[in-house]
Structure 1
Amino acid sequence: MRLIALNKPFGTICQFSPHETRASLADWVKTPGVYPAGRLDADSEGLLLLTDDGALQARIAEPRRKLVKRYWAQVEGEPDRAALDALERGVDLGDFVTQPCRVKRIGEPDALWPRDPPIRHRASIPTTWIELAISEGKNRQVRRMTAAAGFPTLRLVRVAIGALDIFTLGLQPGDCVNVPPDSPWQSREAMPRALK
């Protein structure tokens, strides 16, 4: 069984087949026979796990497994506590209502690499960084949640899955590393408790 952690760069699509205008996973991961366990849209960055084990792939990606995924989102505007509480309780997105999650404001992350291309700066509109920990991960969920709350996401970085995070792993954009099979990264006891 192989498990690979990749820091997926902005603009990379979550497939190995070539794309006419975007980088694909094949540009960063040279290990044959592995597939992404879950996805990140092309405009999102950060931790993506890949494996050659179908059962493990399902355990990582299935919402019923409650594997926490932690995101840093730079949003347009300045959400107050009421807006963050609304995100935490669950947001009606029309086709589904999100499960309760953990949300908090954070300062601009020092550990984060510059994005290429950078977010367009508009002096008249402030931005805020928030951290969200969810166990679902449906298509474009975090972006849809913040937009529904009135604070569109400008930049989205998945920083952790379970107890694995890109900073502990030392991954810069495009870097990947093998995760030992006996690593406790997916145990419930090892899940991040940073959002107390």
Structure 2
Amino acid sequence: MSKISSNRVIRYTSLVMLFIIQLLFLLAIFKENNSTIALSFFIVLISFLLLYSFFKSPVHHHKFTYEKVYIAVWVPIGAVSCYFLNHQFGLGSVFSASLVGLAGALIPYLNKKSDYLSHLPPAIYCGSFVGMSNTKVAHDIYFILAASICTAVLLIISKSLLNGVGGKLGTLAFAGVAITYLILFLFSRS
């Protein structure tokens, strides 16, 4: 298999997985709100529009690249920071994520010439979305660590996917939390 075709397989597999995650997210929202037939039709319509936009919009580069691991390692730092601000200090999830995001945004100003520091804010902010998790899902700090590591892996492999699309970091965080929850659920049943 050539490198170009393997990159295409990775890209389309990633897009299909992202579509499935977004579809499951929509289904969870509507299930929670006791959806009707009209809302079910709305889910199907949005799903087809999302799928169409994934394959027709220029949301990825033709060259598949990876995020550097030493950038993605900041995802767990952002997640743990937000988790502690949210649950230990009682600041609330939105305010905690805002503080962590602000701190991450200020880090490049420590050394404006540093290329490394300029790449940290998105990783930290992505981690803060993981740290926003409710205690019904994220029972303890170990879950947050596992989910943030999963999210960091997703961030690494999705560098060249969905560039310029709003919500990429939040979607990655949701996927990391959902995958971690699913793995723990499956292992707790056996």
Is the pair's TM-score, using the shorter chain for normalization, greater than 0.5? no
In terms of Rg, which structure is larger? Answer: 2
Structure having the larger proportion of residues in strand: 1
Structure-1-length-normalised TM-score: 0.23
Structure-2-length-normalised TM-score: 0.24
Higher relative contact order (CA 8 A, sep 6+): 1
